[in-house]
Structure 1
């Protein structure tokens, strides 16, 4: 989808349409975040931004296209932390280096996570699900957006933290995982609230736990994990705007300024908050440091918990 704006006087950059690669399924949390900010940035910059979903291989296909794109600011990426910090730790054959092959612009937002089940599921809280899973090891399933996805890692770490044995069912995208959980094909899914919001509000999914310090204002009846007696477990993901390595610093800085400007807009603040997105807007340097730190931290967590990519 292209977000078009009226023609007006342009600076040297941008002077033509920008393409944003999102290597994730449409309607996923990052896709929602990317489309909202792309629309606002397009208006502010005076150029269209086309958001293109290129899915497959846990995001590797789309991310590889960005890594190989011309470093001119006209092909940018909207990535989640899975592509940058989880997949490389699970797949040694990842064909790019997430630290050196990209010029990261900004961590745009962090994404609050939840545990969701079909509306007709018997559990009213995460604690009830954990109790059921402990009573029947290997019986219950959790759906994810694919091997190495945030939902995969969240589910595996949650299972390790609570001492339960639940089976992983990978899908090609987080939104499909949420839809099949709503349909009863899987028991639960650990998802960004932005991904499950529409299904929850339509009464097709129910949130049985949120990974927040306080209850989410959009879901006041859903207890936090701490309220349910599950202490010490926290999980969230994030959305980064990035570019190919070699992109001129003045273009990276311009894109960062536009991210910060868009995030300050009251409409973006309101729409992000409604779906569990917390604006960030970090500098390129801070963003690169976040990627490196989490790449190292998740590498240890994946090894310590024996999490496999298949």
Structure 2
């Protein structure tokens, strides 16, 4: 299982938990290989070029699946043509966070201030085209506001920048931000889930507190090289879904800020096309260019 991201990332942690349980259930060995670099292009390319026999899989996030193809004009692979969807595995839930030194306590507060002072509020992200950047551009677009983007070298650096009041706000994956929230370094002013999260029962959703219908999360998916026979894809899908129902897996995922999902291969394919189209318009309208 090739992970085109660094070891220790949310996707990597999720993949190792999943692979361990699948290996136990199947009586097989599943080896995780991290091949980071070029925003995931390198590792994804190795999956695309592998033999379509079910022995090489890719553990991708939605940045690789639906954001990168809309930002990079020329990729060495095509997400729709060079891969077989196997299953959506989990989602990483996100939150809107603010520096405790700001006056913002809800999404409504932020939107009101941004409308009163267009372009005056700074937000931090993990870089141009990062999920943090895309999430805020989506928020700006749907709210009819415009804030000033300050790209950092990574999501962790952006979170520290918000905590230090270098920038006022930002979106962060809750797996990474929860410690800073619990430590009082960040103020969680909204979650991007459809309903409130049990971990944060007093924190409203962005949808209920200022931007009706707003949702955002990150994916962890499993794909195979294009041409992998359907019976193999179906077997792998069944094993993934089975593993995701295991109480140990559910508990470990909760610890990492992940929500186990599972899907059919067809559902993942449909969702990928939907998100590609959604982000194509967003990225084009926002004028996001590769760096």
- TM-score interval (norm. to shorter): 0.7 to 0.9
Equivalent pair of 1:142/1:167 in contact (CA under 8 Å): yes
User: Structure 1 stretch 155-164 or stretch 248-257: which is displaced more?
Assistant: 248-257
SS in structure 2 of the partner of residue 130 of structure 1: helix
Residue 132 of structure 2 corresponds to residue 166 of structure 1: no
Aligned to 2:108: 127
Paired residues, number: 291
1:146 to 127, 135, 138: 127
CA distance in 1, matches of 2:38, 2:175: 22
Find the residue that maps to 1:147 and give its secondary structure. coil
Name the SS for the 2:32 alignment partner. Answer: strand
2 CA distance for matches of 1:54 and 1:206? 34
In 2, Cα distance between the equivalents of 1:268 and 1:184? 37
| 1:263 CA displacement | 0.7
Tell me the distance in 2 between the aligned counterparts of 1:70 and 1:143. 41
Contact 1:151/1:174, CA 8 A, preserved across alignment: yes
Q: Match for residue 207 of structure 1?
A: 188
| CA distance in 2: counterparts of 1:52 and 1:184, whole angstroms | 37
Query: What does 1:30-45 correspond to in 2, within 5 Å?
Result: 30-45=11-26
Most deviating of 123-132 and 214-223: 123-132
**What SS does the aligned partner of 2:220 have?**
strand
Report if aligned partners of 1:26, 1:175 keep a CA contact under 8 Å in 2: no
| 1:74 to 1:293, Cα distance in 2 relative to 1, 3 A | same
Q: Does the 8 Å contact 2:207/2:215 carry over to 1?
A: no
User: Mind listing any 5+ residue stretches in structure 1 that lack a counterpart?
Assistant: 1-19
The answer to whether the Cα contact below 8 Å between 2:191 and 2:206 also exists between their aligned partners in 1 is yes
Cα distance in structure 2, aligned partners of 1:142 and 1:209: 15
SS in 2 for 1:75: coil
How far residue 209 of structure 1 moved from its aligned partner, in angstroms, is 0.6
**197, 220, 224: which is aligned to 2:178?**
197
209-218 vs 265-274, greater mean Cα deviation: 265-274
State the superposition RMSD in angstroms.
2.7
Sort the Cα spacing of 1:35 and 1:205 in 2 relative to 1 into closer, same or farther, 3 A: farther
The 1-side partners of 2:279 and 2:262 are apart by 22
- Partners of 2:24 and 2:162 lie apart in 1 by 37
C-alpha contact (below 8 Å) 1:210/1:225 kept by paired residues: yes
Alpha carbons 2:140, 2:147 under 8 Å: kept: yes
Alpha-carbon shift at residue 155 of structure 1 (Å):
0.8
Q: Can you list the C-alpha shifts for 1:237-292, whole angstroms capped at 9, x where unaligned?
A: 32210122233444323321221111111222234345553322212222222222
Question: How far apart are residue 84 of structure 1 and its match?
Answer: 1.3
Cα deviation digits, residues 86-140 of structure 1 (max 9, x gap): 2111221122110110122111123332112345544222222333434443343
1:149-203 deviation line (CA, Å, top 9, x unaligned): 3222111111122233223233454344334433444432213323323433344
The residue number in structure 2 matching 1:16 is none
The aligned residue for residue 299 of structure 1 is 280
| DSSP 3-state at the match of 2:262 | coil
Mapping 1:229-244, distance limit 5 Å:
229-244=210-225
> Contact 1:21/1:76 (CA < 8 Å) preserved in 2?
yes
The equivalent residue for 1:3 is none
CA contact (8 A) 1:25 1:175 kept: no
**Residue in structure 1 matched with residue 138 of structure 2 by the alignment:** 157
| Residues 160 and 285 of structure 1, relative CA distance in 2, 3 Å threshold | closer
